[in-house]
Amino acid sequence: MDTLDITALPPAALNRKKKISIWKKSPSLNAGVVMVGLVLIFAGLPGLIAAFSPTSQDADHILEAPSLAHPFGTDNFGRDVFARVVHGTRIDLTIGLLATLVPFITGSLIGLIAGYYGKWVDSVLMRILDIFMAFPFIVLVIAIVAILGPGLNNLYIAIWLVGWKDYARLVRSEVMVAKNAEYVQAAKILGFGDLRILLRHILPNVLSVSIVFAAADVVMCMLSGASLSFLGLGVQPPTPEWGAIISEGRAYLSQAWWICAFPGLALVFAGTGFSLLGDGLSDLLRTKGR
């Protein structure tokens, strides 16, 4: 037998160092993790952070400017805007995550199937996709909500029906490259079935673009949720949702800017956090690939 001694292997420590240095070198990943972490804490423990209840009204303190007692001021019912924004975090985050998760799964699966099987399967799925692509996202969502009626559940359904298309397109193009890679051919020759090849060999190699996109998509979905609530099609008052708060505060914009400004800033903060996280993830996943 050949007794070649392979001494030139890079030491494993080197690789570990590389992984750590990515954390160090990707400021966007760090900032993203911290910001999203804050958002998660707000969403998880609103009661600990906000002193007031988001719905308790106080007729003595109507439209008060930000103060020590009410850092974000109060609204037209005397509700604490800080409490409403903090409690709204959970709702907006849930909208963002739920509205992203389902299309992420369905879209990726559709892309996987279309890209792997090709031929007529691909043609049919891609023509359906083309139809969805032809309408602007928000217009389609509004149309669906208008048909189903306003409300949070219908909002989810609308975004789920529309949001899969980007994932399907991204994953499909990646699969079309990956399925010709020699490691996939090797898997076929090893006798593995389609399901095993798709899920164990192709999926992990094509998912990184989807994951990166999903991080940005959370922002999009939070914004869409907020926009629709603002338009009165999503979350209904008095539930504290950022878009709904802004919508309610709109009438008082000239007297009490804080009602609109703080939920707006919260949206910007959460959005920036997820965008940075997506950016950092794409650095991380790209380096890990090879």
Partner 1 sequence: MDPILEVAELKTWFFAKDSTVKAVDGVSFSIMQGETFGLVGESGCGKSATCRSILRLVHEPGRIVSGSITYKGQDLVKLSEEGMRKIRGKEIGMIFQEPMTALNPVLKIKEQIFESFEGMRMSTAQKYERAIELLRIIGIPTPEVRIEEYAHQFSGGMRQRAMIAIALAAQPKLLLADEPTTALDVTIQDQIIKLINSLKTRLGMSVLLVTHDLGVVSQMCDRVAVMYAGFIMELADTITLFSEPRHPYTYGLISSLPSGKERGARLEPIQGAPPDLGSLGPGCPFAPRCRFVGELCTRTMPEMREVSPGHMSRCHYIEKMAGIKGLIEPEGRAS
Partner 2 sequence: MDTHVAEKQYIQVEGLSKTFKLKHPIIDILMKKPRKLLKAVDDVSFTIEKGETLGLVGESGCGKSTLARTIVRLYEPDQGKIFFDGLDIAALEGKALREERKKFQMIFQDPYSSLNPRMSVRDMLTEVMLFHRICTRSEVDHHIAELLRTVGMSEATAERFPGEFSGGQRQRLGIARALALNPSFIIADEPVSALDVSIQAQVINLLADIQEALNLTLLFISHDLRVVRHVTHRVAVMYLGKIVEMAETEALFKEAAHPYTKVLIKAAPVLDPRNRTREYAIEGEPPSPINLPAGCRFNPRCSYAKDICRREEPRLEEVKPGRLAACHFPLIA
Residue 16 or 250 having the CB closest to partner 2: 16
Please give the residue ranges that form the binding site for partner 2 (CB under 8 A).
1-4, 6, 8-10, 12, 15, 181-183, 185-192, 196, 200-201, 204-205, 288-290
Question: Residue type for 35, please?
Answer: M
Could you tell which of partner 1, partner 2, none binds residue 204, using a CB distance below 5 to 8 A set by kind? partner 2
Using the 8-state DSSP alphabet, how is residue 252 labeled?
G
Could you tell which of partner 1, partner 2, none binds residue 186, using a CB distance below 5 to 8 A set by kind? partner 2
Residue 14 or 134 having the CB closest to partner 1: 14
Radius of gyration of the chain (CA): 24
Minimum CB separation from partner 1 for residue 205, in Å?
25
Q: Is 67 exposed, middle or buried (0-12, 13-18, 19+ CB in 10 A)?
A: exposed
Minimum CB separation from partner 2 for residue 171, in Å?
15
Could you tell which of partner 2, partner 1, none binds residue 25, using a CB distance below 5 to 8 A set by kind? partner 1
78: left (phi over 0), alpha (psi -120 to 50) or beta: left
Please give the residue ranges that form the binding site for partner 1 (CB under 8 A).
4-8, 10, 21, 25
DSSP 3-state assignment of 50?
A: coil
Q: Report how far apart, in Å, the C-alpha atoms of 124 and of each of 22, 58, 210, 288 are.
A: 42, 58, 22, 34
Residue 24 or 127 having the CB closest to partner 1: 24
Minimum CB separation from partner 2 for residue 288, in Å?
8
Residue 171 or 223 having the CB closest to partner 2: 171
Could you tell which of partner 2, partner 1, none binds residue 21, using a CB distance below 5 to 8 A set by kind? partner 1
Minimum CB separation from partner 2 for residue 252, in Å?
54
Token digits of residue 155: 């909002």
Residue 22 or 105 having the CB closest to partner 1: 22
Contact predicate 239/95, CB 8 Å = no
Phi, psi of 75 (to 5 degrees): -105, -165
Using the 8-state DSSP alphabet, how is residue 179 labeled?
T
